[in-house]
Structure 1
Amino acid sequence: MSKPRAKAPTKSVTVYCNKCRERLLQYKKGGNGSLVKCFIERISKNYTETLGICPNCETQFGRETMIRGVPAIKIIGGKVLVK
């Protein structure tokens, strides 16, 4: 599999916790589908203390993993809201 594009997309989205509506990440998202994974190199602002865990309600919204040889967060379905 190939690596993601080196140039980050221009579209930026804010990721919120679906349970408490706390702001989690500012992410440079490409494409128009749902958010399934977040490449760590594309995260522009991280509002969490521990990556993958909400700082307010301490719900786990994602797991750290390697996707296509690049570190990423695999999002758990229904745990985040993207605006």
Structure 2
Amino acid sequence: MAKPNKKSPEKSVDIYCSKCRAPLYKYKKGGKGALVKCFKARIVKDFTVISCVCPNCAAVFARETLIRGMPAFKMIGGKVTFK
């Protein structure tokens, strides 16, 4: 399988917990679809203390995995929102 582009996209989005609205990540997202996965290399700023766990309400919002050979977080549906 092909790896994602080396050059990160221009557009940056803020990712929040759906439950408590706490900021989780500042992320370079490509495309205009739903947020399904976050490649670790594209995360600009990380607000979490423990990976995949909200620092405010301790809800698990993602799972660590390898996608196309790169480490990523696979988001659980409905647990995060982004702007």
Q: TM-score, normalised by structure 2?
A: 0.99
Q: Any residues of structure 2 matched to 1:48-63 within 5 Å, and which?
A: 48-63=48-63
**Percent identical across equivalent pairs?**
59
Separation of aligned partners in 2, 1:33 and 1:6: 20
Q: Any residues of structure 2 matched to 1:1-83 within 5 Å, and which?
A: 1-83=1-83
RMSD over aligned CA atoms reads: 0.3
Unmatched runs of 5 consecutive residues or more in structure 1: none
Give 1:51 shift: 1.1
Separation of aligned partners in 2, 1:51 and 1:45: 13
Q: TM-score, normalised by structure 1?
A: 0.99
Separation of aligned partners in 1, 2:51 and 2:27: 13
Displacement over 3 Å in runs of 4+: none
Unmatched runs of 5 consecutive residues or more in structure 2: none
Give 1:7 shift: 0.2
